[in-house]
Amino acid sequence: MPELPEVETVRLALTKHLLKCKIFKVKINSKKLRYTIPENFTKLINGCKIISIKRRGKYIILNFDNMCSLLVHLGMTGTFRVSEIYNPLKHDHLVFNFKSFYLIYNDIRKFGFLKIYNSNEVFDSKHLTKLGPEPFSEEFNLKYLSTALKKRKINIKNFLMNQNVIAGLGNIYCSEVLFESKISPVRITNKLNAKEILSIYISIKRVLKKAISYGGTSLKNYKDPNGKIGYFKNKLKVYGKENKKCSFCNKNIKIKKITQQGRSTFFCDNCQI
């Protein structure tokens, strides 16, 4: 599933292509995504101009000049692509026709969705209202993180995965953040000391910022709207590195893989304590 760096990369690319552009036509090839596309979908945004594109956690919000907002979640395999000529591909569900190009939404597994809201109500939707603060926001500060950690008694990996606590982190970047901060994923949150909490706080921002600069991580089908893959895959230290040598220990210590809440976690049990 695309995480914050991938979704932010998509948002940046969409902003470059779509800002101040008008939709002339929407073709719906399939209405059956995670939520069925409603009958009035095309009527609500045809002829409308995109005035801004925002991100909240793993969600993208396209705002139109008629006070409608399109809330998008890419699910597991959702992608946008921009093309001057429309060459149909299998699993193309929606085609947005602009003056000189097309925007196509493709989703193999159909876990993504596109929903239209009134712009005044989109941030009060059930999808966004309970999200925790953005990792780069003023609200997400050291005091907030310390308080949230001390209030809970769960392992740190599952804590970081909780979108109600911090918005945007997923499986890949939780493993990478904990490796950089040298904290074991099985550590219990309310047992972490001030130095360890500071390390996690710094690592969250550092890892995400670096991942965004590389266009995110492409493991399977993820590409940005320009068709580019994310090159942070080449910078991963532990995720997907089971049985490979730890890059920090510089010894014959191998990365381990465990399962937490049904998700794979990768770490070094020698340097992550």
Does residue 228 lie in a domain region? yes
- The number of residues in the chain equals 273
How far apart CA 268 and CA 180 sit, in angstroms, is 11
List the domain range (segments joined by +) for residue 44. Answer: 4-124
* Same domain for 154 and 114: no
Whether residue 167 is found in the same domain as residue 196: yes
Is the domain of 45 the same as that of 91? yes
Q: Do 32 and 149 have their domain in common?
A: no
Identify the CA nearest to 60 among candidates 101, 129, 113: 113
Give the CATH number of the domain where residue 15 resides: 3.20.190.10
What pLDDT does residue 252 have? 83
45-75 in b/e form (b: 16+ CB < 10 A) is: beebebeebebbbbbbbbbbeeebbbbbbbb
What percentage of residues in the chain have a pLDDT greater than 70? 100
Final residue before a domain boundary, out of 90, 124, 158? 124
170 and 61 within one domain: no
Residue 272 lies in a domain: no
Domain finish residue from 97, 124, 151:
124
Q: Is residue 129 part of a domain?
A: no
- Confidence category of residue 250, pLDDT binned at 50, 70, 90: confident
Please state, in angstroms and rounded to a whole number, the distance separating the CA atoms of residues 3 and 147: 24
Taking residues 21-50, what's their average pLDDT? 97
Q: Is the pLDDT of residue 132 over 80?
A: yes
Shared-domain flag, residues 23 and 111: yes
CATH number, residue 182: 1.10.8.50
Sheet holding 113-118, edge to edge: 50-56, 59-64, 68-73, 113-118
The answer on 52 and 25 residing in a single domain is: yes
Name the residues annotated as catalytic: 2-3, 58, 263
Confidence at 13, pLDDT banded by 50, 70, 90: very high
Give, rounded to a whole angstrom, the gap between the first and last alpha carbons of the chain.
Answer: 28
Q: Rounded to whole angstroms, how far apart are CA atoms 119 and 260?
A: 37
Task: Give kind and range of the element (H or E) at residue 82.
Answer: strand 78-83
224 and 111, same domain (yes or no):
no
- Is the per-residue pLDDT at 107 higher than 90? yes
Do 115 and 153 fall within a single domain? no
Beta carbons of 268 and 249 less than 8 angstroms apart: yes
Domain count, the chain: 2
In a domain, 35, yes or no: yes
